[in-house]
């Protein structure tokens, strides 16, 4: 009884600081915090096991705030747990504060940046899967709003969680009825959520989300859960709960109280002891991510006269990487026999995760893996990485260390047609700050670029090709991020053709044809697309007769390698002439389509002659 009373007071303290901080900020989503104040108060007061000094302790429970706009709730919970002095919350949403409008890693207890809805359950599933495979014995809690349950990704995550028997995952659904602009699709029809989560094979516990006893029983049952299933606590709640003029009222989404409204609200809450604290149990053990040195060497040998598909060599190289670094995981979306992550699966089944055809969940789960110190390689067709563009964006805000592989790039895939062609992928990844974008053209460079992917901390994207290509490089050739290779040059080059991937071979073919006519050109393989090798490109501009670099790429014209090249040489005299795909392609053979797209050797020669005459 005494305990219940104290818990009520702590829930009030949460409410107080969610209101005070947003009023101070003059913006934010206080009512979205209030609906979940009671349920999280019980969680943090009684069940949450956490080592505040070591947020990365692998034995910590995990709390993912999927409804990221309730950020002040997250901050308040950890504040009351003793992570910092609550007064600091008054810096909420101010420049330089670690308390941003939506959670980001500057608040170190943030498991994942959220704020784009419907991603948290996937991150949580990623955290829980690693915990399960490594027998960490902890629990992962994900707090979701009801509005975000409309996002399909939630159901991808639900399938994933039940398929992988993540009985260490507890989804807490804050069904507060009101979304941003109107009532949610299902309002307070809790049965709609119960039937859906049951159908997706969750253990479901439906409760009154403001009844502390019901909440307590629910957590008790969810934590003891021996069904082998993930658990969903479906809590019927009220937005703005606890303040009469906010509770269950329209028009209060995303609005901070004015100063006088705040006073009224605080008066309703009554006197609350600011010194009340949660005292989370610390896990019995401490284990931090092992930070295994990511510097590795990959040695592979290729026969000079054979052809190899870079996608297949990637698969083989990933085994080598996996042998040397046990934190490497591979995730694939039911195309492992096309991306060749199936090789990794065969070698390391415990570090392979089949994600089925659900790319969004795959990327967000990988962000969860990264949070626990893993190095996830996420692979699918480059075209289908666009399916997860928003999850990629948010994983970058989370500062996740993910390696992306996009196979089947460009029109060179041939007969399958435009739906399967990755022609936006350089643009997608290239736009993201600090993301490295690579594209090998042959087997030898593929092996070395995989090595670089592991060694580099942060986002790296590598494009791989469907068709086989000839060997260009020695097995021992060295590559670097920001590097390039000059493949043809002479003392009297007319201009430079900078290519990447499949177009390197078109450029070489063009150079060899032109040489028969005594026209020399320089050919550069820009295997590092971002950062691009500006030093070499500038030297090329300076050294050639015409101050022109033709860039040729099997990618749409805007946002590709050509734009990186142009930016890299913009401060010197010279000019970039972009050759790229500028229309929706079609079915045909590789060579027909390269020609149809205007990026074949024939087109390079024609354009070049126009430029030098």
For the segment 426-455, give every residue that binds its own copies (CB under 8 A).
Answer: 427-428, 430-434
Span from 32-40, 352-360, 444-452, 508-516 in contact with its own copies (CB under 8 A): 352-360
Considering only residues 505 through 524, tell me which ones interact with its own copies, judged by CB under 8 A. Answer: none
Of positions 15, 239, 546, 557, contacts its own copies by CB under 8 A? 557
- CA dist 501 and 593 (Å) reads 15
* Residue 439: closest CA among 327, 554, 354: 554
| The pair of three-digit structure tokens given for residue 248, joined into one six-digit string | 């269950």
Span from 323-331, 501-509, 557-565, 598-606 in contact with its own copies (CB under 8 A): 557-565
* Rounded least distance, CB 197 to its own copies, Å: 8
Considering only residues 462 through 491, tell me which ones interact with its own copies, judged by CB under 8 A. Answer: none
| The pair of three-digit structure tokens given for residue 298, joined into one six-digit string | 């990959």
159 binds its own copies (CB under 8 A): yes
Backbone phi, psi, residue 406, to 5°? -115, 115
The residues with which 470 forms a beta bridge, in sequence order, are 307
Residues labelled catalytic: 359
The residue (of 247 and 354) whose beta carbon lies closer to its own copies is 354
Considering only residues 314 through 343, tell me which ones interact with its own copies, judged by CB under 8 A. Answer: 332, 334-338, 342
| The pair of three-digit structure tokens given for residue 297, joined into one six-digit string | 């060497």
282 binds its own copies (CB under 8 A): no
276 binds its own copies (CB under 8 A): no
The residue (of 362 and 444) whose beta carbon lies closer to its own copies is 362
* Rounded least distance, CB 377 to its own copies, Å: 16
Considering only residues 356 through 415, tell me which ones interact with its own copies, judged by CB under 8 A. Answer: 356-358, 360-361, 383-384, 386-387, 389-390, 393-394, 396-397, 414-415
- CA dist 352 and 328 (Å) reads 9
Size of interface with its own copies, in residues (CB under 8 A): 112
- CA–chain centroid gap for 149, Å, is 19
Backbone phi, psi, residue 216, to 5°? -60, -50
**How many C-beta neighbours within 10 Å does residue 434 have?**
10
The residue (of 275 and 419) whose beta carbon lies closer to its own copies is 419
* Residue 496: closest CA among 513, 517, 511, 481: 511
Span from 34-42, 309-317, 555-563, 600-608 in contact with its own copies (CB under 8 A): 555-563
The residue (of 94 and 480) whose beta carbon lies closer to its own copies is 94
The residue (of 47 and 200) whose beta carbon lies closer to its own copies is 200
Considering only residues 134 through 153, tell me which ones interact with its own copies, judged by CB under 8 A. Answer: 147-148, 150-153
Span from 1-9, 78-86, 457-465, 569-577 in contact with its own copies (CB under 8 A): 569-577
Considering only residues 75 through 104, tell me which ones interact with its own copies, judged by CB under 8 A. Answer: 93-97, 99-102, 104
The residue (of 54 and 97) whose beta carbon lies closer to its own copies is 97
- CA dist 310 and 430 (Å) reads 21
227 binds its own copies (CB under 8 A): no
The residue (of 48 and 252) whose beta carbon lies closer to its own copies is 252
Helix/strand/coil (H/E/C) assignment for every residue in 231-250: EEEEEECCCCCCCCCCCCCC
What is the per-residue binding string for its own copies in 19-38, x denoting contact by CB under 8 A? ------x-xx----------
CA-to-CA separations, 157 to 151, 153, 365, 370, 563, in angstroms, rounded: 11, 6, 8, 17, 36
The residue (of 50 and 164) whose beta carbon lies closer to its own copies is 164
* Rounded least distance, CB 61 to its own copies, Å: 24
* Residue 591: closest CA among 501, 467, 442: 467
Instruction: Tally the C-alpha atoms within 13 A of residue 488's C-alpha that lie toward its C-beta.
Output: 25
Of positions 274, 303, 416, 477, contacts its own copies by CB under 8 A? 416
The residue (of 197 and 329) whose beta carbon lies closer to its own copies is 197
Considering only residues 34 through 73, tell me which ones interact with its own copies, judged by CB under 8 A. Answer: 68
Please answer whether residues 127 and 371 qualify as being in contact, where contact means their C-beta atoms are separated by less than 8 angstroms: yes
Please answer whether residues 314 and 475 qualify as being in contact, where contact means their C-beta atoms are separated by less than 8 angstroms: no
The residue (of 98 and 324) whose beta carbon lies closer to its own copies is 98
* Rounded least distance, CB 141 to its own copies, Å: 20
- CA dist 157 and 606 (Å) reads 51
* Rounded least distance, CB 246 to its own copies, Å: 18
- CA dist 86 and 22 (Å) reads 13
* Rounded least distance, CB 363 to its own copies, Å: 12
Residues in the chain: 613
* Rounded least distance, CB 434 to its own copies, Å: 8
- CA dist 425 and 580 (Å) reads 13
CA-to-CA separations, 227 to 47, 162, 170, 193, in angstroms, rounded: 19, 11, 13, 19
Phi-psi region of 93 (alpha: psi -120 to 50; beta: other; left: phi over 0): left
Please answer whether residues 55 and 91 qualify as being in contact, where contact means their C-beta atoms are separated by less than 8 angstroms: no
583 binds its own copies (CB under 8 A): yes
Considering only residues 169 through 208, tell me which ones interact with its own copies, judged by CB under 8 A. Answer: 179-182, 184-185, 192, 195-196, 198-201
- CA dist 446 and 440 (Å) reads 5
Of positions 288, 545, 589, 609, contacts its own copies by CB under 8 A? 589
211 binds its own copies (CB under 8 A): no
**Quick check: helix, strand or coil at residue 324?**
helix
């Amino acid at each position: 009884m005494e305990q219940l009373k104290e818990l009520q007071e702590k829930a009030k303290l949460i409410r107080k600081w969610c209101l005070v901080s947003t009023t101070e900020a003059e913006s934010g989503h206080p009512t979205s915090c209030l609906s979940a104040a009671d349920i999280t108060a019980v969680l943090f007061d009684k069940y949450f096991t956490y080592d505040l000094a070591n947020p990365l302790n692998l034995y910590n429970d995990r709390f993912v705030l999927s409804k990221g706009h309730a950020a002040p709730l997250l901050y308040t919970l950890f504040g009351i747990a003793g992570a910092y002095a609550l007064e600091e919350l008054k810096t909420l949403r101010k420049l330089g504060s670690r308390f941003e409008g939506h959670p980001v890693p500057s608040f170190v207890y943030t498991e994942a940046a959220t704020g784009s809805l419907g991603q948290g359950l996937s991150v949580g599933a990623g955290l829980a899967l690693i915990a399960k495979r490594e027998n960490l014995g902890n629990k992962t809690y994900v707090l979701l709003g009801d509005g975000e349950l409309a996002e399909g990704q939630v159901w991808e995550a639900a399938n994933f969680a039940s398929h992988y028997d993540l009985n260490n995952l507890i989804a807490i659904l804050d069904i507060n009825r009101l979304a941003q602009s109107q009532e949610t699709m299902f309002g307070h029809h809790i049965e709609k959520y119960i039937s859906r989560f049951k159908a997706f094979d969750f253990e479901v516990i439906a409760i009154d989300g403001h009844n502390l006893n019901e909440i307590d029983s629910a957590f008790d049952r969810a934590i003891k859960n021996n069904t082998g299933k993930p658990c969903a606590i479906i809590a019927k709640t009220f937005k703005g709960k606890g303040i009469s003029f906010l509770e269950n009222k329209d028009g209060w989404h995303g609005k901070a109280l004015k100063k006088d409204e705040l006073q009224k609200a605080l008066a309703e809450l009554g006197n609350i002891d600011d010194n009340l604290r949660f005292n989370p149990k610390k896990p019995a053990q401490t284990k931090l991510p092992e930070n295994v040195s990511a510097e590795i060497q990959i040695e592979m040998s290729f026969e000079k006269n054979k052809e190899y598909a870079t996608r297949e060599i990637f698969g083989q190289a990933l085994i080598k990487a996996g042998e040397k670094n046990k934190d490497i995981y591979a995730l694939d979306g039911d195309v492992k026999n096309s991306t060749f992550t199936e090789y990794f699966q065969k070698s390391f089944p415990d570090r392979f995760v089949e994600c089925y055809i659900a790319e969004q969940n795959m990327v967000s789960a990988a962000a969860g893996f990264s949070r626990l110190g893993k190095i996830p390689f996420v692979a699918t067709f480059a075209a289908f990485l666009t399916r997860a563009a928003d999850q990629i964006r948010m994983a970058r805000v989370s500062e996740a260390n993910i390696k992306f592989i996009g196979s089947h790039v460009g029109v060179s895939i041939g007969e399958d047609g435009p739906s399967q062609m990755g022609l936006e992928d350089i643009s997608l990844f290239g736009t993201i700050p600090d993301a490295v974008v690579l594209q090998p053209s042959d087997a030898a460079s593929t092996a070395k670029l995989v090595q670089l992917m592991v060694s580099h901390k942060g986002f790296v994207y590598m494009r791989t090709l469907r068709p086989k290509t000839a060997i260009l490089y020695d097995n021992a050739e060295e590559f670097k991020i920001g590097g390039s290779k000059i493949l043809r040059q002479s003392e009297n080059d007319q201009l430079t053709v900078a290519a990447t991937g499949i177009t390197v071979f078109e450029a070489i073919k063009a150079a060899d044809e032109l040489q028969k006519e005594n026209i020399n050109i320089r050919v550069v393989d820009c295997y590092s697309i971002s950062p691009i090798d500006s030093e070499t490109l500038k030297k090329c501009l300076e050294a050639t007769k015409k101050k022109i670099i033709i860039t040729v790429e099997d990618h749409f014209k805007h946002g590709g390698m050509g734009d990186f090249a142009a930016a890299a040489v913009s401060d010197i005299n010279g000019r970039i002439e972009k050759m790229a795909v500028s229309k929706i392609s079609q079915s045909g053979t590789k060579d027909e389509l390269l020609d149809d797209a205007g990026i074949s050797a024939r087109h390079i020669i024609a354009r070049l002659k126009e430029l030098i005459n």
